[in-house]
Amino acid sequence: MREGIQVQVGDPIVTFYDPSELIIEFEIPTPVLQKIYGDANQDPDKDHIAIIDGKIMKVSHIQRMIDPDTHMSPAYIDFPCSNCMIGSNILIDFVVVERKGVFVVPFEATFLRDGKMYVYLVKNNKARLSPVLCVDT
């Protein structure tokens, strides 16, 4: 069969893939996309990375088009793999912001007291409030 030819129900269709040229497609939620392209401190043209099976991979393309139904934007990674099964799912850790020399805690783990932010730190089996500097990422 040639590309573009009409097929009928029941016609056998076979596609051959080269595992050295696989592409992983994943979707990025709108709030994350806004953070990538809306943060003045972050270069929107820099290489974005994802971690797959412990390996750091470069994201080859992020579409800035947002699907109005899912509120997601497609992104792609060129992924060489000799033993992958086409159509299978894979776990991707997409790195949105990378900060060095900081400890990140969920905002929900902070406490407000006298106009200052605190977290509980455990030392010698005792939890104590410790002041922290909160920065919106």
Average pLDDT over residues 88-96: 82
Q: What is each CA distance from 82 to 17, 20, 35, in whole angstroms?
A: 11, 7, 34
What CA dihedral angle connects 90, 21, 60 and 64, to 10 degrees? -80
- Gyration radius (Cα) of the chain, Å: 22
Segment 93-108, tens digit of pLDDT? 888 777 777 777 888 8
* pLDDT exceeds 80 at position 114: yes
Task: Grade residue 87 by pLDDT with cuts at 50, 70 and 90.
Answer: confident
Average pLDDT over residues 36-52: 68
Picking from 65, 95, 99, 102, the residue whose alpha carbon sits closest to that of residue 77 is 95
